[in-house]
Structure 1
Amino acid sequence: MRNGLSILAFFITLTLTAQNVETDFDAPDSLYREDQFYFSVSYNILQRGPSGLRQNKFSTGLTTGFLRDMPLNKKRTFSIAAGLGYSLSIYNQNMGIIDVNGEPTYQILNSENITYSKNKLSLHCIDLPVEFRWRNSTPESHKFWRVYTGLKFSYVVYNQYKLVSSEGTLKQSNLRDLNDFHYGIYLATGWNTWNIYAYYGLNPLFKSSAKIDGQSIDMNTANFGLMFYIL
């Protein structure tokens, strides 16, 4: 009984204290953080491809994730951010990946050797972005100029190659000649909602074991599009 009265007295005291505290919901928050969630859509461009490589249709890039904003100065105009995300990269092009006796072989597809309607490579990745940020934001407004630049490390969790041709449909997944890890630099800059986004991969998509006519396929990727940030 005594314990029950003590607990009741505690909650009554807590309630009375809370009623005497006035909260100003319109007051600016001097400890605000910016741009916690992100989403981007881009066009993927293959760089340094083998002779005869051509892209066709639209090669889509999609990314989404969360970034922890960590301001560096009192005005909170400079910060660093690190996070976790997911990306899907699709490459529509004319390089065929054909399984011959359990071994992948690579060749440039053209009208002389095959007729096809779809030839694409898809990569699903877990991303670890780390970026340095500048913005002229204030506690009163979330509309501001920004320049964010950094590094993105990606791990390929799943990949798939699909060819739809006059000879049928071919699907392969988890290609062993693809690099599991990718990394590159990126830039996002703009005003308010609309931000230009660019990414440049610093290592090849394929391992040195992937060759066409004895030459390694050491192509990398560059992405250009739009980035959107959400608090």
Structure 2
Amino acid sequence: MRIIFSCLFLLTFFNSFAQEDVKPEIKPVIKIDSLYREDQFYFSVTYNMFTDIPVNFKQNKFSLGLSGGFLRDMPINKSRTVAIAAGLGLSYQNYYQNLTISEDATGNIIYGVNNYGEFVSNRYRQYSVDLPIEFRWRNSTYESTKFWRIYGGIKLSYVFSSMSLLNDGENTYRINNNKNVNTFQYGPYIAAGYNTWNLYLYYGLNPLFNSTTTLSGEAIKMKTLNAGLIFYIL
């Protein structure tokens, strides 16, 4: 009997010694923010056009527009699918067209519409600071950053630099910060699409040039129209 009890004691001892103290795995708790905001950086690439153009006005080449900035999102409903956003950005707009800008001997600015064979090159470009304010709809959730969206609003722009460059084959006219350009420009825009890729359209409500700018005795009422793509990055 003593031998049997000794064997049982040894088996119990070694069995207890062999067993490891297994602790339950503690997984980190991931907190999902249901009060999310779609604060975003944006970047757009557009083809630049004009409306309300003078007679015989034409564009050639690709008139490129680039803009970028940041938008602060402010949801206004419980599900956070509707919001208002405001932001700040910069824009570069470039135009190739046959509206020529030159100067006479006294320094007065002269505007004309010329055939492409009458000059070597002609372009206009401007840089602006933008303030977009928009109303937003999207079918987003706090679990996904990929969703459909329709954003529409108004963009206010201050043109801090502009330049026109005309080479007529004999002379080159470079006019910086033309006093006839409207430095304050504004217009509505709309962006719609899925995830990162979205179509974009902007229409300028006020003319590129102020009301004193004339061509053959008539006011130049050209307005900008930009169409292209806009990308939103969280």
Do the two structures share a fold, i.e. TM-score over 0.5? yes
Aligned to 1:105: 110
Which of 165, 170, 175 aligns to 1:172? It is 175
> Could you tell me how far apart the structure 2 residues matched to 1:184 and 1:36 are?
21
Aligned residue pairs, count = 207
Q: CA 1:194/1:213 → structure 2, altered by over 3 Å: closer, same or farther? A: same
Shift, 1:191, TM fit: 0.5
Matching of residue 55 in structure 1 with residue 59 in structure 2: yes
Q: Is the 8 A contact 1:35 1:229 kept in 2?
A: no
Shift, 1:221, TM fit: 0.8
Matching of residue 199 in structure 1 with residue 171 in structure 2: no
Matching of residue 183 in structure 1 with residue 200 in structure 2: no
Q: Is the 8 A contact 1:125 1:157 kept in 2?
A: yes
Which of 216, 219, 224 aligns to 1:213? It is 216
> Could you tell me how far apart the structure 2 residues matched to 1:142 and 1:191 are?
10
Shift, 1:164, TM fit: 2.9
Identity of aligned residues (%): 52
Trace 1:10-159 onto structure 2 (pairs within 5 A): 24=29, 26-100=30-104, 101-110=106-115, 114-116=118-120, 118-159=121-162
List structure 1 runs of 4+ shifted beyond 3 angstroms.
none
Shift, 1:76, TM fit: 0.7
Q: CA 1:64/1:216 → structure 2, altered by over 3 Å: closer, same or farther? A: same
Task: Write the deviation string for residues 13-53 of structure 1: whole angstroms up to 9, x where unpaired.
Answer: xxxxxxxxx963x4321121114210000011111111111
> Could you tell me how far apart the structure 1 residues matched to 2:217 and 2:72 are?
45
2:180 alignment partner AA: D
> Could you tell me how far apart the structure 2 residues matched to 1:23 and 1:70 are?
30
Shift, 1:142, TM fit: 0.4
Q: Is the 8 A contact 2:187 2:206 kept in 1?
A: yes
Task: Write the deviation string for residues 154-182 of structure 1: whole angstroms up to 9, x where unpaired.
Answer: 00000000123422432110101111110
The TM-score, its normalising length taken from structure 2, stands at 0.85
Matching of residue 160 in structure 1 with residue 163 in structure 2: yes
Aligned to 1:222: 225
Task: Write the deviation string for residues 173-204 of structure 1: whole angstroms up to 9, x where unpaired.
Answer: 01011111100000000001110000011010
Q: Does the residue aligned with 1:49 lie in a helix, a strand or coil?
A: coil
Q: Is the 8 A contact 2:123 2:165 kept in 1?
A: yes
Q: Is the 8 A contact 1:123 1:160 kept in 2?
A: yes
> Could you tell me how far apart the structure 1 residues matched to 2:103 and 2:144 are?
56
Q: CA 1:166/1:33 → structure 2, altered by over 3 Å: closer, same or farther? A: same
Instruction: Pick the structure with greater CA Rg.
Output: 2
Q: Is the 8 A contact 2:98 2:116 kept in 1?
A: no
Q: Does the residue aligned with 2:165 lie in a helix, a strand or coil?
A: strand
Q: CA 1:30/1:220 → structure 2, altered by over 3 Å: closer, same or farther? A: same
1:29 alignment partner AA: D
Structure 1: runs of 5+ lacking an equivalent? 1-21
> Could you tell me how far apart the structure 2 residues matched to 1:153 and 1:58 are?
24
Question: CA RMSD for the aligned pairs?
Answer: 1.4
2:139 alignment partner AA: N
The TM-score, its normalising length taken from structure 1, stands at 0.86
Q: CA 1:63/1:111 → structure 2, altered by over 3 Å: closer, same or farther? A: closer
Structure 2: runs of 5+ lacking an equivalent? 1-26
